[in-house]
Amino acid sequence: MTTAPIHGSAGAADARLVVLVSGSGSNLQALLDACADPAYGARVVAVGADRNGTFGAERAAKAGVPAFVHRVKDYPTRDAWDEALTRTVASYAPDLIVSAGFLKLCGPRFLGAFPGRYINTHNSLLPAFPGMNGPGEALAAGVKLAGATLFICDSGVDTGPIVAQCAVPVEDDDTVETLTERIKEAERAQLVTAVGRMVRDGWKVEDRRVRLG
């Protein structure tokens, strides 16, 4: 799969980001802060959530960004939820969609509508420790390096082509909380850098390999 480069600089319109969240939204905040610099080349045009009352939605309101909620339980089927989410996200004409702590797997309609343009940040060094408890599983496995992975979503759980990875040390006295926080700090910086490069320079996906620029 090859994705045409997106140009968001030198007079062209900023790239349009839709960010999906389920919780605190610190990764969303990092993107909102980065987008305040016109040289970054992107702006967050909408924030979506799968539940009411997320701190991410509050962050969106504070930044003057529209927010929407689609809860799976409000739809008769998972497919109907997927369809509604796809329609709403598409209405914002996004160049890139960022899952930043969004605790739902999107379905075939969503993935088909935004091929190669839906990315997720995960708090482990994939392919190790996919799923909901990356830092806890890293600690339990006794690894000495943990980290975060930004990848292009496919239909699997944390299986898509990798855009960027960063590592942090696991300290002897780490708890799940301290390791999670260390990972999150590195993860936010990575997300901002990689999304900036994607929107300014474009990206290509060939087989499993993602090339920026």
Selected range binding ligand GRF among 8-16, 20-28, 89-97, 107-115, rule: CB under 6 A: 20-28
CB 153 within 8 A of CB 114: no
Selected range binding ligand GRF among 9-17, 37-45, 67-75, 116-124, rule: CB under 6 A: 116-124
Selected range binding ligand GRF among 35-43, 119-127, 171-179, 205-213, rule: CB under 6 A: 119-127
| 163-202 binders of ligand GRF (CB under 6 A) | 184, 187
- 7 counts as catalytic: no
In the complex, minimum distance from the CB of residue 2 to ligand GRF, in angstroms, rounded to a whole number: 27
Nearer to ligand GRF, 24 or 88 (CB): 24
Nearer to ligand GRF, 62 or 87 (CB): 62
In the complex, minimum distance from the CB of residue 165 to ligand GRF, in angstroms, rounded to a whole number: 12
| 28-57 binders of ligand GRF (CB under 6 A) | 28
Give the strand pairing for 42-49 and 67-69: parallel
| 88-107 binders of ligand GRF (CB under 6 A) | 100-101
- List, in order, residues 6 or more apart from 126 with CB less than 8 Å away: 149, 151, 158, 159, 162, 165
Q: Following DSSP, what letter does each residue of the chain receive, concatenated?
A: ---------TTSPPEEEEEEESS--HHHHHHHHHHTSGGG-EEEEEEEESSSS-HHHHHHHHTT--EEE--GGGSSSHHHHHHHHHHHHHHT--SEEEEES------HHHHHHSTT-EEEEESS-TTSS-STTHHHHHHHHT-SEEEEEEEE--SSSS-SPEEEEEEEEPPTT--HHHHHHHHHHHHHHHHHHHHHHHHHH-EEEETTEEEE-
Binding ligand GRF (rule: CB under 6 A), the pick from 123, 146, 160, 161 is 123
Closest residue to ligand GRF: CB criterion: 101
Exactly one of 70, 122, 182, 188 is catalytic; which is it? 122
133 belongs to the binding site for ligand GRF (CB under 6 A):
no
In the complex, minimum distance from the CB of residue 4 to ligand GRF, in angstroms, rounded to a whole number: 28
What are the residue numbers of the active site? 122
Task: Give contact residues for ligand GRF (rule: CB under 6 A).
Answer: 21, 23-28, 100-101, 121-123, 184, 187
